[in-house]
Amino acid sequence: MTHPFIIPELLENIFSFLAKDKALYPTLFVNHLWYHCSVPILWRRIEFSVEGYRQNQCGKNTSGPLYWRLMKFKRVMCGKTKHLYCSKMVYLKLAGLKISDTLLSAILRLCPNIHTLILDRSYGFSNIPIIEIARCCPKLLHLSFDACKAITDRCISEIVRSCPKLEYIHFASICSLNVTGASVIEIAQFCPNLIYLNLSSHHHIKDISFCAIARSCVNLRHLDLSSNYYMTDDAVCDIVRSCANIQYLILHRTYITDKTIYDIAHYCSNLLVLDVGDCWPKNQH
């Protein structure tokens, strides 16, 4: 029995600390008050990832505990009876999973308060639910689509125009002609508050797009432009001269020269990490 002087607000504050290491789950079985204080906290952060699990050769998420947890989650999100606390979700990570348009669309419609969305290496969905992010998640701050093949210029354009508060964008390893330099220009134009930007491995994007970052995203602290083979010294120098707050600068496998290194040394006084491994001038490649 709960002590008569313990109020729900106090329990919620205590439970918030327990949620960090999954120690909160046993409290669901104490009594009704503890249950109703715990469930909203647990719903705030939903995370499914294939890391540590195996997938079968058919590409289905059938790896024991992960599979059954995901199926239960899908039944809740896509079922006729919606869970009372779905709208409490603010953090969603679905990494390396096969996800349907139906599931992703249902999540977006039921969880308008999401501020962190991570779909790294996930597949099976089209660009349709990705475009819905713009309409359903106006509070978005953190967006990560590492190696997602469904991403297109239109997806990025719709999202950045509707989510001006974005501070973290990770669009790495999207080796598709469906994402062009136009997307980088739109990111620069509509997301001036960016602190983290990862645009690595976009092999066909050229200087004009990266220079747009220099003009608009002056608050950047972490920038990863590795493996962008069409980027030159001029673009990188424009960025380091404009973004004085950069602390992490990743230029691995790019065509830069001593000119870039000199400007980095001169303008990036807050730099903590610099990666220029496997860099070479174009005429030496």
Over residues 170-198, the pLDDT tens digits come to 998 776 678 899 999 999 999 999 999 99
pLDDT for position 31: 55
pLDDT, mean over the chain: 84
pLDDT for position 62: 52
Q: The pTM is what? A: 0.84
The stretch 157-166 carries a mean pLDDT of 96
The stretch 52-77 carries a mean pLDDT of 68
Contact (CB, 8 A) for 169 and 195: no
* CATH 3.80.10.10 assigned to 67-275: yes
pLDDT for position 27: 54
Alpha carbons within 13 angstroms on the beta-carbon side of residue 101 total: 9
pLDDT at 1 over 70: no
Lowest mean pLDDT: which of 2-16, 24-38, 239-253? 2-16
pLDDT for position 5: 43
pLDDT at 260 over 60: yes
Residues 6 or more apart in contact with residue 99 via CB below 8 angstroms: 119, 122, 123, 124, 125
pLDDT for position 54: 47
Could you give the CA distance from residue 14 to residue 6 in angstroms, rounded to a whole number? 11
Angle among Cα 271, 277, 283 to the nearest 5 degrees reads 115
Reported confidence tier of residue 279, pLDDT bands at 50, 70, 90: confident
pLDDT at 72 over 80: yes
pLDDT for position 160: 96
Phi and psi for 8 in degrees, rounded to 5? -55, -40
- Look up residue 269 and give its amino acid: S
Could you give the CA distance from residue 132 to residue 143 in angstroms, rounded to a whole number? 14
CATH 3.80.10.10 in the chain, residues? 67-275
Percent of the chain surpassing pLDDT 70: 78
Reported confidence tier of residue 203, pLDDT bands at 50, 70, 90: confident
Reported confidence tier of residue 56, pLDDT bands at 50, 70, 90: very low
For the packed helices 181-190 and 207-216, what is the interaxial angle rounded to 10 degrees?
A: 10
The stretch 140-151 carries a mean pLDDT of 93
CA-based torsion, 169, 196, 42, 121: positive or negative: positive
pLDDT for position 9: 57
